[in-house]
Amino acid sequence: MAVTCIASLSHFSALSVSTLTHETLLSRSPLSISRPPHSFSHRSFCSCQKSFNLRSVVASSAWIPVSIRCEASVKREPMVPPYNVLITGSTKGIGYALAKEFLKVGDNVVVCSRSAERVESTIQSLKGEFGERVWGTRCDVRAAHDVKDLVAFAQESLKYIDIWINNAGSNAYSYKPLAEASDEDLIDVVTTNTLGLMICCREAIKMMLDQPRGGHIFNIDGAGSDGRPTPRFAAYGATKRSVVHLTKSLQAELQMQDAGNVVVHNLSPGMVTTDLLMTGATTKQAKFFINVLAEPAEVVAEYLVPNIRAIAANGSTKPTYIRFLTGLKAYSQIFARLAFGARRNRYVVED
Residues with catalytic function: 236
How many Cβ atoms are within 10 Å of 142's Cβ, its own excluded? 20
Query: Contact 229/237 with Cβ under 8 angstroms?
Result: yes
Write the secondary structure of the chain as one string of H (helix), E (strand) and C (coil).
Answer: CHHHHHHHHHHHCCCCHHHCCCCCCCCCCCCCCCCCCCCHHHHHHHHHHHHHHHHHHHHHHCCCCHHHHHHCCCCCCCCCCCCEEEECCCCCHHHHHHHHHHHHCCCEEEEEECCHHHHHHHHHHHHHHHCCCEEEEECCCCCHHHHHHHHHHHHHHHCCCCEEEECCCCCCCCCCCHHHCCHHHHHHHHHHHHHHHHHHHHHHHHHHHCCCCCEEEEEECCCCCCCCCCCCCHHHHHHHHHHHHHHHHHHHHHHHCCCCCEEEEEEECCCECCHHHHCCCCCHHHHHHHHHHCECHHHHHHHHHHHHHHHHHCCCCCCCEEECCCHHHHHHHHHHHHHHCCCCCCCCCCC
CA 127 – CA 8 distance, rounded (Å): 48
What are the residues facing 135 on neighbouring strands?
A: 110
Residue 95: left (phi > 0), alpha (psi -120 to 50), or beta? alpha
What are the residues facing 266 on neighbouring strands?
A: 219, 321
